[in-house]
Amino acid sequence: MRSADYEIYHLFTVHLPSGEKITFLDTPGHAAFSAMRARGAHVTDIIILVVAAEDGVMQQTVESIEHAKNAGVPLILAINKCDKPEADPERVKKELLAHDVVCEEFGGDVQAVSISALKGDNLMVLAEATVALAEMLELKADYTGLVEGTIIESRKDKGKGPVTTAIIQRGTLRKGCVLVAGKTWAKVRFMFDENGRAVDAASPSIPVEIMGWKEVPSAGDDILEVESEQRAHEVVAWRTYVEQQEKMKKDGEVIEAKQKEHRMEYEKKQQELAHLSWRQRKAALYKASKHLMPLKPKERTEMEKNVLSVILKGDVDGSVEAILSVLDSYDADDECKLDVIHFGMGDISETDLSLAETFNGVVYGFSVTANESVKKMAAKKGIKIKLHNIIYKLIEDLKDELSSRLPPSVVENTVGEASVLDTFSVTVGKNKVAVAGCRVQKGQLDKKMKFKLVRKGNVIWKGSLSSLKHHKDDVQVIKTGMDCGLSLDRNIEFNIGDEIICYEEKEIQQTTSWDPGF
């Protein structure tokens, strides 16, 4: 299990000169793939923990160690990038002591091998260390009996239909076998090895791609062989029934809790309104429920603007799971609500666009495509389709989309500042108007801009000037060092020492406060 990378599972078998075979399940080390690493730990017999010699122990390294402990799987330490000048393998070994990973040279039982994946240094030594540990643990598999295995990855292929990549853990898988996984089943039509070559049988620890599934099962589901298709139907029906019963039970608990909450609210309201007449009570209830009435189109548009509905499609189950785990960390609902209304595997379809149109949503695709007819349909309906091949770029795009839904923030830019040196009043018609004699200390005063009156650090008025004069002449602008007389659009008394601030307001687009961690 590596401590830093971005690719999805890579499953392959290595043939050693001595005749032994080792199957490697290479899991990505990026933070988004935590669930994938946990699955990998439970499937493997031995975990090779790869740590970069110049980076040392990182957060994902610690997490991988925890996965290994939880799964009860032994470790071999591979210290990579030892060809680099800044490499410090000893530091890595010492840092791992804090996490109960004790190498043999410190009296522990963890083998440590310094390697360079780039130059191929000591890779055979690592393979031999793996074989030696397997022999010491007496790892053996039963090639007979009904097949048992685990789904490592699943996807929907255009030509092949639902396809799974699996590791067989017991028995020998052959064409025609009937398998059950999760709430679906398969009669094995074809099998392929990691190089895409067709195979007739797969024995324990051999990675194999299986065709023949009725639906796409989930990564991590256990595979069990059953005697017949009828038995497979029975198992799937039973599992579906059990899941429905559990869901009904949970839904019932939620409904009961809501009913109790509503009943308590109703009783509380009745007590609060008990002293009122029936007419007053009716008016109070109308006022309290006014916000529940249907919104006007304009109000509905404003509300929808603060919700980002997302349809997510990915190439395989693992990548969709990884993206959803990142979205689970979203914590800025008070700014803009993020609502994943649908997710799945496969290319962008017209059904996805229909959902996006209904919910005013955006379609995101990871390592998938959208054909020309879908693109034209999206353009015609004004639906955004965002396609990416790198997870962090998809998340950055999503953050930009969230930010675009936020209202702009208003920033005040000071244009000029003036001090009140004298105060007097003039008669305009029948009214007396307060006038401030000022000197511009900084910038300029522009009559068409906005102004505020500041007294002892507190803003006591904001608005516009009703007049701006230089001597007896009406002027539009007064520059630094010039004296002027001014009055406000409200009759407010001035004090000597007050400050008159001329400013302009600019709208700046806000950015979401959500930090997904990368």
- Strand 307-314 relative to strand 337-345, pairing: parallel
At residue 456's C-alpha, the angle toward residues 450 and 462, to 5°, is 20
Q: Are 453 and 491 in contact (CB under 8 A)?
A: no
Per-residue pLDDT, 262:
80
- Strand 362-366 relative to strand 385-388, pairing: parallel
What is the rounded CA–CA span in Å between residue 278 and residue 296? Answer: 30
Q: Smallest Cα–Cα separation from 419: which of 504, 503, 494, 505?
A: 494
Quote the CATH superfamily of domain 141-270: Translation factors (2.40.30.10)
Per-residue pLDDT, 28:
65
Per-residue pLDDT, 372:
93
The domain locations on the chain are 10-137, 141-270, 307-405, 409-508
The class of domain 409-508 in CATH terms is mainly beta
3-state secondary structure of 466: strand
- Which pLDDT tens digit goes with each residue over 427-437? 888 888 999 99
Quote the CATH superfamily of domain 307-405: Translation initiation factor IF- 2, domain 3 (3.40.50.10050)
Question: 191-217 as b/e, with b when 16 or more CB fall inside 10 Å?
Answer: bbbbeeeeeeebebbbbbbbbbbeebb
What is the rounded CA–CA span in Å between residue 273 and residue 295? Answer: 27
Pick one of 2.40.30.10, 3.40.50.300, 3.20.20.80, 3.30.910.10 as the CATH number of 10-137. 3.40.50.300
Tokens 């693109």 belong to residue: 375
- Strand 307-314 relative to strand 362-366, pairing: parallel
Q: Are 207 and 236 in contact (CB under 8 A)?
A: no
Q: Are 419 and 497 in contact (CB under 8 A)?
A: yes
Per-residue pLDDT, 462:
94
Q: Are 205 and 141 in contact (CB under 8 A)?
A: yes
- Which pLDDT tens digit goes with each residue over 196-220? 899 999 999 888 999 999 999 988 8
Residues 6+ apart with CB under 8 A from 105: 93, 112
Token code pair at residue 478: 């007064």
Tokens 């008669």 belong to residue: 427
The H-or-E segment that residue 503 falls in is: strand 499-508
- The ranges of the chain with pLDDT < 70 are 1-9, 28-37, 277-279, 281-282, 284-305, 518
What is the rounded CA–CA span in Å between residue 202 and residue 165? Answer: 12
Q: Do 141-270 and 10-137 have the same topology in CATH?
A: no
Could you tell me the CA-to-CA distances from 112 to 58, 76, 90, 94 in Å, in that order?
17, 6, 10, 12
Phi (first) and psi of residue 91, to 5 degrees: -65, -40
What is the rounded CA–CA span in Å between residue 222 and residue 39? Answer: 11
Q: What is the DSSP string of 127-164?
A: HHHHHHHHHHHT-----SSS-EEEEEEEEEETTTEEEE
Q: Where are the beta strands (DSSP E) in 146-255?
A: 148-157, 161-170, 173-174, 178-181, 184-192, 201-202, 207-213, 222-226
